[in-house]
Amino acid sequence: MNLPTHVRYELLRALRNRRLLGISLAMPFAVFYAVAPENRHAQIDGISFPLYFMTAMAAYGGMWAAMSPCSRLARDRAKGWTRQLRITPLRARTEVAGKVLTAYLAVLPALILLYLAGVSLGVRLDATQWLEMTGLLLVGLAPIVAAGIGLGHVVSVDALTPTVAGFVVILALFGGAFGRLFNGGVMLTIVKLLPSYWLVQASKTVTGSGDWPAEGWIVIACWTAALVPLAVLAYRHDTGDD
Amino acid sequence: MRWGSIPGSSEAQNAPSLSSYGSGERPAARGEGPSRHDHCRMTAASAESGGIRAAGLKKSYGSVEAVRGIDLVIAPGETVALLGPNGAGKTTTFDMLLGLRRPDAGTVAVFGVPPAAAVRSGRVGAMLQTGALPDLLRVREVVSLVASYYPHPLPVDEVLTRTGIADLAERWTTKLSGGQAQRVRFAAALVGDPDLLLLDEPTAGIDVEGRHEFWQAMHAVAERGKTIVFATHYLEEADANADRIVLIARGGIVADGPATEIKAMAGSRTIRATLPGVDLAELRGLPGVLSAERHGDAITLSCSDTDAAIGALLRSFPSTRDVEVRGASLEEAFLELTLGDADGDDRDANGEAASPPGEESG
């Protein structure tokens, strides 16, 4: 029905969730400032450390923010509110669209805050590059958003925090958000299959020292193609009767 | 007992009340004002499409038959109470009327369309039995949010005032008492200005004063020609607030009619007397006595034939004093009509017939 109002209140709830703000904004920001100043002039993976780490932390915070509908959904589900919504004219697709939009709107501050932090330590990109990086990160977060909505429909409130934390932290770690782990070999081949690897690589793409090859797009597309139907299934399982 | 109540075979018993609605004619809705869009909606709808029509509804959860054949026709503008003990199948029936559960058998039409379609068009508002409010929102925000889903919502402030929660408007939803939260849920059910309100145990958790306010607000809604169906196990509530009572026990309708008719149907009367130290079994054995209870020296006999019972009582126990004969209260009628349920299967304490396995609490 009224998507803007729905999204506005969803967003309001996201912004009022201090834990979410702490983990998606404050923590990556703090980690960036704890690590990057001392490595200000270092190079990593062929680019400047602040650029690499700024993008990595933006991706990390972005993943948390992208998962933000998950805990809201699980709480609403536990309280029976999602059931209450089903007896209003709110359509399922509006509800889901609202969740996706809110997730992305929660991602943006996480990115912008880290961009500012990066700039303060000498990261310089032109406008096109900033936009391109943002675009890549948003696209790369699509499977994470889908995973968040899917998990929100199946995981209980009790199991939620460890599930989401495990999911995000493992993806971030192996994707190289805390530093590049592998420079070759089987493990590199494996981590390249993770969407988080390509999120971190967005920094190299925009500076021209690497790019999102077809492989990157395929990995993101496959994860999205796999997780969206799973989220739909989870939704149906959750809201379907008996 | 006369009301050998076979669920599903309610037609014969309900003949008087059903016949008036069963002809396909929509009876003039009580107090139906010339309210805005309702009028054109009603005239546009064919006579058959008014209100609720449920036929042959059945629903089982595993081996538990929660609803075993319910036929129900509710005309627009009626206020109907679904009265029954916990586990009778009220909530399952509600869920099917709302399209939240698919019946195993039978059909439901709400305003002439399937329940889900009626819900989508914004003509239905409901308070489910379980369900809390979303966190991180204030009371006014929740009600506004729900209002935004409906095509023609009422002004939020008006609804807050009418439901007596205007002073709670800025309160966080997580800082409400049970009764306050219940009123907010009522406001959420009202704010879309639905033509049909389904309220499942709406006053659970509300204190006495709050109940009074609640029913006042509901009467105001009824006076605007809205159809209201509420479930309750409080007899006085059904008696005082409904045009018609549908008594549900063991998954079927055991009686259907105005409160007075329900009382008459039960037909039993009560004898009270003072008789110390008597054996209840002996009392139960007296002619015309259905059941006997004792509280201290006072005995209460529920009777199918008070004349026979009094005679036998005084002959057998000449020391009987303070004899008093009373017509059945609604409560007694209720107990009699649903008696089988009381000693029947003991269902979960949570109330309604066992949730399906694996179902989340909501």
Q: What is the DSSP string of A72-106?
A: HHHHHHHHTHHHHHTTSS--HHHHHHHHHHHHHHH
Nearest to A208 by CA among A44, A36, A46: A46
A vs B, Cβ pairs < 8 A, gives 99
For A5, B98, B181, B194, B197, the CA distances from B221, given in Å and listed in that order, are: 26, 19, 20, 10, 9
Q: Which domain holds residue A197?
A: 3-239
The interface predicted TM-score (ipTM) is 0.90
CATH number of B268-327: 3.30.70.100
Minimum mean pLDDT range among A105-109, B88-92, B211-215, B345-349: B345-349
Residue B341 to residue B335: CA distance in whole angstroms: 9
| Å between A65 CA and nearest CA of chain B | 17
Partners of residue A9 in chain B, C-beta under 8 Å? 137, 141, 144-145
* Domains identified in chain A, total number: 1
* Residue B133 one-letter amino acid: L
Q: Is A97 on the interface with B (CB under 8 A)?
A: no
DSSP code for B71: E
Q: Which uninterrupted H or E stretch holds A217?
A: helix A214-239
Taking an 8 Å cut-off on Cβ atoms, the answer to whether A81 and B131 are in contact is yes
Taking a C-beta distance cutoff of 8 angstroms, is the pair B299, B293 a contact?
Answer: yes
**In CATH terms, is domain B10-264 a member of 3.40.50.300?**
yes
Q: Do the Cβ atoms of B77 and B33 come closer than 8 Å?
A: no
Burial environment of residue B63 by CB neighbours within 10 A (0 to 12, 13 to 18, 19 or more): exposed
The DSSP symbol for B27 reads P
Which of B141, B149, B356 comes nearest A1 by C-beta? B149
**What pLDDT does residue A50 have?**
95
- Which residues, listed in sequence order, are joined to residue B70 by a DSSP beta bridge? B57
Cα B182 → chain centroid? 17
Least confident residue range of A115-119, B94-98, B133-137, B251-255: B251-255
Tens of pLDDT, residues B273-289: 998 888 888 888 888 88
Q: Is B12 helix (H, G, I), strand (E, B) or coil?
A: helix
- A125, A174, A73, A88: which is closest to B134 by C-alpha? A73
Contact B134 A2 (CB under 8 A): no
Q: Which part of chain B has CATH 3.40.50.300?
A: 10-264
Which position has the token pair 């008459």?
A: B264
Q: Is a pLDDT exceeding 60 seen at residue A1?
A: no
Q: Which of B86, B188, B63 is nearest to B131 (CA)?
A: B188
CB pair distance less than 8 Å for A12 and B136: yes
β-strand B52-61 against B105-110: which pairing, if any?
antiparallel
Whole-number Å distance between alpha carbons of B22 and B10 = 14
Angle between helices B208-223 and B178-190 (to 10 degrees): 10
Considering only CA atoms, which of B168, B152, B172, B149 is closest in space to residue B160? B168
> How crowded is residue B186: how many other Cβ atoms within 10 Å of its Cβ?
26
In angstroms, rounded to a whole number, what is the distance separating the alpha carbons of residues A200 and B2? 78
Residue B105 pLDDT grade (very low, low, confident, very high; cuts 50, 70, 90):
very high
Report DSSP state, residue B327. Answer: E
Res. B114: pLDDT tops 70: yes
Nearest to B190 by CA among B217, B230, B223: B217
Contacts A158 to B, Cβ<8 Å: none
Of A88, A90, A157, which to mutate for an interface test with B (greatest number of B Cβ within 10 Å)?
A88
Report how far residue B96's alpha carbon sits from residue B88's, in angstroms, rounded to the nearest whole number.
14
Query: What's the CA gap between B267 and B288, in Å, rounded?
Result: 12
Do B54 and B72 meet the contact criterion of CB atoms below 8 Å apart?
yes
Q: Helix crossing, A68-79 with A92-120: angle to 10°?
A: 140
SS3 A176: coil
Question: What is the number of other CB atoms lying within 10 angstroms of the CB of residue A201?
Answer: 25
User: Whole-angstrom Cα distance, residue B263 to residue B253?
Assistant: 15
User: What pLDDT, on a 0 to 100 scale, did the predictor assign at position B183?
Assistant: 92
Mean pLDDT on B94-108: 94
Q: How confident is the model at residue B329, as a pLDDT? A: 62
Cβ atoms of B68 and B7 closer than 8 Å? yes
Q: Are strands B298-303 and B289-295 parallel, antiparallel or unpaired?
A: antiparallel
Is the pLDDT score of B348 beyond 60? no
For the stretch B285-335, pLDDT in tens is 888 888 888 888 899 888 877 788 888 999 989 888 888 887 666 666 677
Average pLDDT, chain A: 91
- Pick the closest to residue A167 from A147, A189, A197 (CA basis): A147
Query: Global pTM?
Result: 0.77
Residue of B nearest to A242 (CA): B356
CB contact under 8 A, A81 and B362: yes
With tokens 């100043």, the residue in question is A37
Instruction: Map residue B64 onto helix, strand or coil.
Output: strand
Which residue spans of chain B are classified as CATH 3.30.70.100? 268-327
Write the pLDDT tens digit of every residue in A63-94.
999 999 999 999 999 999 999 999 999 988 88
* DSSP letter assigned to residue B172: B
What gap in Å lies between CA A215 and CA A222, rounded to an integer? 10
- Rounded distance, CA B49 to CA B112, Å? 4
Tally helices (H) and strands (E) across chain B: 14, 13
